[in-house]
Chains A and B, each alone.
Chain A
Amino acid sequence: GAVVSQHPSRVICKSGTSVKIECRSLDFQATTMFWYRQFPKKSLMLMATSNEGSKATYEQGVEKDKFLINHASLTLSTLTVTSAHPEDSSFYICSASRSGGLETQYFGPGTRLLVL
């Protein structure tokens, strides 16, 4: 159990377009989902925490209007990178936990975004 999927796994887009990334918990209900960003050979940086049915909580320095997060159901959270620019190119990875933050977080396989 505890499988998390992400779609797409890889996306290339033109500068100025918006990209939506989906994170799904396949075999459990996830009250809380987290979105991270990772640069090559670097650590994961938490961007935001989303709880089902409520607004996401963003970490300091993360632009809410650029990185729109929606957690519409207990199995799906989406991250939309709006008006993407080359500096938004990165590896985006989500995680999900069953009941709030004290449960183990299970990670999705990640999405590689390249903005041209």
Chain B
Amino acid sequence: AQKITQTQPGMFVQEKEAVTLDCTYDTSDQSYGLFWYKQPSSGEMIFLIYQGSYDEQNATEGRYSLNFQKARKSANLVISASQLGDSAMYFCAMRGDIGTSYGKLTFGQGTILTVHP
């Protein structure tokens, strides 16, 4: 079974500062994918960044980077230069690449990020 854990229910950051949102995962699969999604109060899920389990380089997408530490089974999201519009719920998710978990996303509990001006 796959499990995603986000231990920070809420995080606060000052505008223009960087913030790290934690995510740890548990799986016995060798191949998997890790995702971060942003969910504003409107409810839509916005894809931010993806990291494959075999990717050696940490993924980056603009102000988002994923700090992938495979041995620790962690996939933290780093948001640089926070903006007020970054205030939202953030979900870490894992996709199974084989067996019964193939293609399915398992989500963490989410972290509510609040950016202060």
Chain A residues in the interface with B (C-beta under 8 A): 32, 34, 41-44, 46, 49, 91, 93, 95, 97, 100-102, 104-110, 112
Contacts and interface: CB of A to CB of B under 8 A. Distances in A.
B110 to A, nearest CB: 6
Interface in B30-47: 33, 35, 37, 42-47
A43 B110 contact: yes
Residue of B47, B105, B106, B108 with highest tally of chain A CB at under 10 A: B105
B104 A49 contact: yes
Given A105-B47, A105-B105, A109-B44, 14 more contacts: A42-B110, A43-B91, A43-B110, A44-B107, A93-B45, A95-B105, A97-B103, A101-B96, A104-B35, A106-B47, A107-B44, A107-B45, A109-B43, A110-B45
B103 A109 contact: no
Interface of B: 33, 35, 37, 42-47, 50, 89, 91, 95-97, 102-110, 112
Contacts, number: 59
B33 A102 contact: yes
Contact of B102 (A34, A101, A112): A101
Contact of A104 (B44, B47, B91): B47
Query: Sorted from nearest, which 3 A-B pairs have the closest CB atoms?
Result: A101-B103, A107-B45, A110-B43
A114 to B, nearest CB: 14
Nearest to A107: B45
B33 to A, nearest CB: 7
Contacts of B96: 101
Contacts of B95: 101-102, 105
A2 to B, nearest CB: 8
Given A101-B95, A102-B33, A104-B50, A112 B43 contact: yes
